[in-house]
Amino acid sequence: MKYDVVVIGSGPGGYVGAIRAAQLGMKVAIIEKYNTLGGTCLNVGCIPSKALLDSSEHYHAAQEKFADHGIQISGLKADIKKMVARKNEVVSQTCKGVEFLMKKNKIDIYTGVASFVNKNTILIQGENDKKEIETDKVIIATGSKPVTPAMFNYDKNRVITSTEALNIEKIPSKMVIVGGGVIGLELGSVFARLGTLVEVVEFMDKIIPTMDAECGKELLKSLKKLGIKFHLSHGVTGVKATKTSCTVTVKKKDSEESFDIKADYCLVAIGRRPYTEGLNLEAAGLSTDEKGHIPVNENLETSVPGIFAIGDVIRGAMLAHKAEEEGVFVAEYLAGGKPHINYDLIPGVVYTWPEVAAVGKTEEELKASGVSYKTGKFPFKALGRARASMDTDGFIKVLADTTTDEILGVHMVGPRVADVIMEAVSLMEFRASAEDLARICHPHPTFTEALKEAALDATGKRAIHM
């Protein structure tokens, strides 16, 4: 069988790229080593984590907030088995949806590990058989895996990553989470809401360290209220596990001071690495860089003409929506189009409560690059909609160029800001000024009004409700 395009990996990069290529008239095959399509995002990432975040958030609201709303409940209980079963059902339906889309777009699905025989021939090693297919072009979309250094003694039982954490069926009494980044804080929230004593060990002196520092500080306050304990500027020097528990040795940075924490689980969430094992890249004339990424040029083409790479396996943010845009980009480029991705405006969201969302430059980045900027800020506690729902933690911050007033960055901590951020992204795509945003009529009462107020604050300190 000869294809125009073979896509290796069925995550959000691969399956979206495959659909777009098929829409543009190409004969497409997709190869996935697992039995379900959808990659990390659908199987062990975005979708299952958000399913558990939603379930645990309902439980926590019932326990902590309903009484204030005048709702009395007795006999409230968290059934984590049922939560995991519901999550599995959501995952299964979503993965089947991708299979349906492949069939609808006449994309051939192959199950097995793909490896290069040469740049135009791909070997597919299935459980019981193997076959080779020929192709004109290849898109590598093999994604990433969690980083698990040997000293953590990752055993998938007590020392775990997000993949195993998503399937815990008994609420742990105590969990140590190594890494105060996105995964650590999202999954830490799930378990803390269910009653687990969660302790986060973070090497830096702040959480979500790549985001605007003020957002990290604000989220830290909320997560401490939830009961999560933080050891900032601390690292882990060793983990010992038995069948039923683990002991994590934690050491203060730049000091000899160390202590042990005994817990049911140690969740290692210190980042992910590009995944290229088994691809036999050398046979195609390819290699990875020092960080394990497949190097690509501005058209996402590798050093071998006709082989492209997208998503977590290449440089840049490890985000599903970034991978999707790159899948579409390559398909359209192959069809002779002139696609474009604005890497400066890829939004980032952390699905804790309050949520964190951001787009564009942080204050730290603007300071480092010497750009003169002005700041507008509005706290959710001053917003009627937030008081109505009793979600008053957080703020929205708008950063705009001092001279031109162009919006350079928007950073939010608060209720439903995962959705509010899109207004900022859209406006910034059209290079709007803070004044443009401040003059747009926003529906009342909504959380989006906090964005308008922050823009008013940025343009002459004229926020109305502050």
Instruction: Given the residues 58, 234, 293, 444, select the one marked as catalytic.
Output: 444
Among 186, 218, 391, 423, binds ligand NAD (CB under 6 A): 186
Instruction: Give CA angle at 286 (284, 289), nearest 5°.
Output: 165
Which residues contact ligand FAD (rule: CB under 6 A)?
A: 8-14, 31-34, 39-41, 45-46, 49, 113-114, 141-144, 162, 183, 275, 278-279, 311-312, 318-321, 323, 351
CB neighbours of residue 147 within 10 Å: 15
Q: How far is the CB of 41 from ligand FAD (least distance, A)?
A: 3
The structure tokens listed for 218 are: 């604000």
Q: Render 292-329 in DSSP notation, one character per residue.
A: SPPP--TTSB-SSTTEEE-GGGSSS---HHHHHHHHHH
- The whole-angstrom distance between residue 225's C-alpha and the CA centroid of its chain comes to 24
* Run of H or E including 407: strand 407-414
Q: How far is the CB of 284 from ligand FAD (least distance, A)?
A: 12
The structure tokens listed for 176 are: 């140590």
CB neighbours of residue 225 within 10 Å: 10
CB-nearer residue toward ligand FAD: 80 or 398: 80
Q: How far is the CB of 73 from ligand FAD (least distance, A)?
A: 30
Reduced to 3 states (helix: H, G, I; strand: E, B; else coil), residue 69 is helix
Q: How far is the CB of 124 from ligand FAD (least distance, A)?
A: 8
Q: How far is the CB of 1 from ligand FAD (least distance, A)?
A: 17
Question: What does the buried/exposed string (b/e) look like for 347-361 if buried means 16 or more CB atoms within 10 Å of the residue's CB?
Answer: bbbbbbbbbbbbbbb
Among 193, 272, 293, 397, binds ligand NAD (CB under 6 A): 272
209 binds ligand NAD (CB under 6 A): yes
CB-nearer residue toward ligand FAD: 229 or 321: 321
- 181 contact, one of ligand NAD, ligand FAD, none, CB 5-8 Å limit per kind: ligand NAD
CB-nearer residue toward ligand NAD: 252 or 442: 252
326 binds ligand NAD (CB under 6 A): no
Active site residue 444: yes
- 323 contact, one of ligand FAD, ligand NAD, none, CB 5-8 Å limit per kind: ligand FAD
Task: Provide the residue type at 416 as one letter.
Answer: R
Q: Which residues contact 13 (CB under 8 A, 6 or more apart)?
A: 39, 141, 143, 310, 311, 312, 323, 324, 326, 327
- 269 contact, one of ligand NAD, ligand FAD, none, CB 5-8 Å limit per kind: ligand NAD
Q: What is the 3-state secondary structure (H, E, C) of 244-274?
A: CCEEEEEEECCCCCEEEEEECEEEECCCEEE
109 DSSP β-pair partners: 30
CB-nearer residue toward ligand FAD: 166 or 456: 166
CB-nearer residue toward ligand NAD: 312 or 405: 312
* Run of H or E including 98: helix 80-104
48 binds ligand NAD (CB under 6 A): no
- The whole-angstrom distance between residue 430's C-alpha and the CA centroid of its chain comes to 25
Among 178, 313, 331, 366, binds ligand NAD (CB under 6 A): 178
Q: Are 37 and 170 in contact (CB under 8 A)?
A: no
Give the range of 75-83, 128-136, 247-255, 267-275 binding ligand NAD by CB under 6 A.
267-275
The structure tokens listed for 375 are: 């700041």
CB neighbours of residue 368 within 10 Å: 10
- 204 contact, one of ligand FAD, ligand NAD, none, CB 5-8 Å limit per kind: ligand NAD
319 binds ligand NAD (CB under 6 A): yes
CB-nearer residue toward ligand FAD: 317 or 466: 317
- 13 contact, one of ligand NAD, ligand FAD, none, CB 5-8 Å limit per kind: ligand FAD
CB-nearer residue toward ligand NAD: 193 or 272: 272
Question: Where does this chain bind ligand NAD (CB under 6 A)?
Answer: 178-184, 186, 201-204, 209, 235-236, 269-272, 317-319, 349-351
Catalytic positions, please? 444
